[in-house]
């Protein structure tokens, strides 16, 4: 394939046989033509690791950075942080994606996801007793990263009796392919990629 591309770039004049370009075809029922840029399969091929694994690793790295940070309602720093601020900071720092500050605003982000379809990077929401809702970030394998009121930043199991009882809903602010692409861009900009 590379040889063909190089030949096409280096080739002089002459007549070329028409190439059946799948992405240049008009698709029934769709306006215009498809673009290879919009093809998620091609996007995934350009990434170094499969998107779910890459997003999961980025979230685990964020867990390591925030581990030991105590919970503080209204807090936004390593001296103390609440659940929605942790979600906001992790998405901004790991993926360059700005999310709203509060759970009330975050629960309106992206699209709704069923619990059995969760992917790393999805937001998981809980309605425990009291005035406030709780939010965390799904990291895969039935676990989520969050700022616990009792133990600070940690990873917990969705199957824990408490969290299972108060589970409310999940939202996907951005699919894992696009999160992984944003992660690659940030790492490249930092000189890590």
- Residues (pLDDT < 70) of the chain are 1-49, 193
- In terms of Cβ atoms closer than 10 Å to its own Cβ (0-12, 13-18, 19+), residue 170 is buried
In this prediction, residue 15 carries a pLDDT of 46
Q: Could you confirm whether 146 is annotated as catalytic?
A: yes
Name every residue whose Cβ is closer than 8 Å to that of residue 1 and which is 6 or more positions away in sequence.
Answer: none
In this prediction, residue 54 carries a pLDDT of 93
Instruction: Render pLDDT for 80-120 as a digit per residue (tens, 0 to 9).
Output: 999 999 999 999 999 999 999 999 999 999 999 999 999 99
DSSP one-letter code for 162 = H
Which member of 83, 133, 165, 178 is catalytic?
83
Residue carrying structure tokens 């699209």: 111
Which member of 49, 63, 146, 178 is catalytic?
146
In this prediction, residue 23 carries a pLDDT of 47
Which member of 63, 134, 165, 178 is catalytic?
134
In this prediction, residue 49 carries a pLDDT of 59
In this prediction, residue 26 carries a pLDDT of 53
In this prediction, residue 50 carries a pLDDT of 79
In this prediction, residue 81 carries a pLDDT of 98
Q: Could you confirm whether 134 is annotated as catalytic?
A: yes
pTM (2 decimals)?
Answer: 0.74
In this prediction, residue 126 carries a pLDDT of 98
């Amino acid at each position: 394939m590379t040889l063909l591309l190089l030949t096409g770039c280096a080739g002089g004049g002459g007549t070329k046989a028409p190439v059946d370009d799948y992405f240049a075809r008009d698709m029934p029922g769709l306006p215009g033509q498809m673009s290879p840029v919009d093809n998620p399969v091609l996007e995934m091929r350009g990434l170094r690791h499969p998107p779910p694994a890459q997003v999961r690793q980025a979230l685990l790295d964020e867990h390591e950075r925030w581990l030991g940070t105590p919970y503080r309602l209204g807090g936004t720093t390593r001296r103390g942080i609440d659940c929605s601020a942790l979600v906001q900071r992790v998405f901004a720092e790991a993926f360059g994606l700005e999310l709203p500050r509060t759970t009330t605003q975050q629960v309106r982000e992206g699209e709704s996801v069923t619990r059995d379809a969760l992917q790393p990077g999805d937001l998981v929401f809980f309605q425990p007793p009291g005035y406030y809702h709780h939010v965390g970030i799904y990291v895969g394998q039935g676990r989520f990263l969050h700022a616990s009121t009792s133990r600070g930043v940690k990873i917990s199991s969705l199957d824990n009796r408490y969290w299972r009882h108060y589970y409310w809903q999940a939202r996907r602010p951005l699919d894992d392919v696009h999160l992984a692409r944003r992660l690659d861009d940030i790492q490249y900009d930092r000189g890590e990629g």
